[in-house]
Amino acid sequence: MRGLSAFPITPSDADGVVRVDALQRLLRPLVDARVHSIGLLGSTGSYPYLSRPERRRAIEAAADEVAGRVPLLVGVGALRTDEAIRLAQDARAGGAAAGLLAAVSYTPLTEDEVFEHYKAVAGESGLPLCIYDNPTTTHFRFSPELIARLAALPGVAAVKLPGGEPQALAAQMADLRARVPADFALGHSGDWFAVEAMLAGGEAWYSVVAGILPQVCMDIVAAVRAGNATEARRLNAALEPLWGLFREFSSLRVVYEIAERRGVCAAEPPLPVRRLPEAARQRVAAVLDGMDPALLR
């Protein structure tokens, strides 16, 4: 749960059946680029829309494709604690190295309820967990105090934080680092925030775009690790046209379009989510056509 974690889509048919061949085609470039982990069944992978059997199908297909070469971080979020436990057990049995657990809710949750949820899933599944703080979708925001409580639990090993304003990131990272064990990993999502988050001390980048364009993301991580902030920011700036599309249309819809435009797979997102309208699809095509081919490896 450090370095670059690449989050691919999960291609499925209209009935929600995972298309194994298409998923494996998406994973091959990630393995070839030597990403540090693959974030299977994350939000980009549409985990809330897939049944338990289809989640198992995706895990089995991914495990067969990566063959132990890249660790799998598997989304195990569910509304019910007992269901999340079963999903985490499935992930562990299927070969996942860790689970990504969001505080999925309908009735708003309290901090104590979320704490007990994580304690149960970690304790009963035996799968190391990464806290998934995704307030945009779950409507629950993890406080620093709650992250510290959870970090003290056996089996809770990392946190995936949402992006934030660059000027606030260093203070946020310093505050969290002072609260959690030294081996607890701090990472961020929100691709356009990632460079500044890593420069501020973030240890992981949980990336949507790395699920379809892994090499440029690996180049960014390498630049950060080498202390070359100028190069990391240059590459990030070159991707700004994509970030603009992500912000306007959602990264999920845009990545489905990129996957088709690049000939990796043609797939529809799970209903009721729909593909971009034609005018937006043409904008994605124009952005891709205008990008330096070196960024599209």
Euclidean distance between CA atoms 177 and 183, whole angstroms: 10
Domain annotation covers residue 295: no
Euclidean distance between CA atoms 5 and 34, whole angstroms: 10
Query: What CATH code is carried by the domain that includes residue 193?
Result: 3.20.20.70
* Residue-wise DSSP of 17-84: -B-HHHHHHHHHHHHHTT-SEEEETSTTTTGGGS-HHHHHHHHHHHHHHHTTSS-EEEE---SSHHHH
Q: Are 33 and 5 in contact (CB under 8 A)?
A: no
Domain annotation covers residue 82: yes
Q: From the candidates 106, 118, 119, 160, which is the catalytic residue?
A: 160
Residue 268 in 3-state DSSP?
Answer: coil
Binding-site residues from annotation = 44
Euclidean distance between CA atoms 102 and 18, whole angstroms: 22
Positive/negative CA dihedral, 269, 274, 280, 282:
positive
Domain annotation covers residue 277: no
Specify the pLDDT at position 163. Answer: 82
- Counting every residue written for the chain, the total comes to 297
Specify the pLDDT at position 246. Answer: 97
Report how many domains make up the chain: 1
Domain annotation covers residue 292: no
Domain annotation covers residue 262: no
- Our answer to whether residue 132 is catalytic in this structure is yes
In the block, tokens 């799998």 appear at: 72
Q: From the candidates 49, 106, 119, 132, which is the catalytic residue?
A: 132
Specify the pLDDT at position 14. Answer: 85
pTM: 0.96
Domain annotation covers residue 197: yes
Domain annotation covers residue 241: no
* Residue-wise DSSP of 69-93: SS-EEEE---SSHHHHHHHHHHHHH
In the block, tokens 């990008």 appear at: 291
Euclidean distance between CA atoms 213 and 203, whole angstroms: 20
- Per-residue pLDDT of the chain in tens (297 residues, 90 and over written 9): 999 999 999 999 989 999 999 999 999 999 999 999 999 999 999 999 999 999 999 999 999 999 999 999 999 999 999 999 999 999 999 999 999 999 999 999 999 999 999 999 999 999 999 999 999 999 999 999 999 999 999 999 999 999 878 888 889 999 999 999 999 999 999 999 999 999 999 999 999 999 999 999 999 999 999 999 999 999 999 999 999 999 999 999 999 999 999 999 999 999 999 999 999 999 999 999 999 999 998
Euclidean distance between CA atoms 266 and 9, whole angstroms: 11
In the block, tokens 């460079």 appear at: 195
- Our answer to whether residue 119 is catalytic in this structure is no
**120-123 contacts at long range (C-beta below 8 A, 24 or more positions apart):** 120/81, 120/85, 121/76, 121/81, 121/84, 121/85, 121/88, 122/153, 122/154, 122/155, 122/156, 123/153, 123/154, 123/155
Domain annotation covers residue 46: yes
120 is in which domain, residue-wise? 3-226
Instruction: Show the tokens assigned to 169.
Output: 């990131």
Binding-site residues from annotation for pyruvate = 44
Specify the pLDDT at position 164. Answer: 79
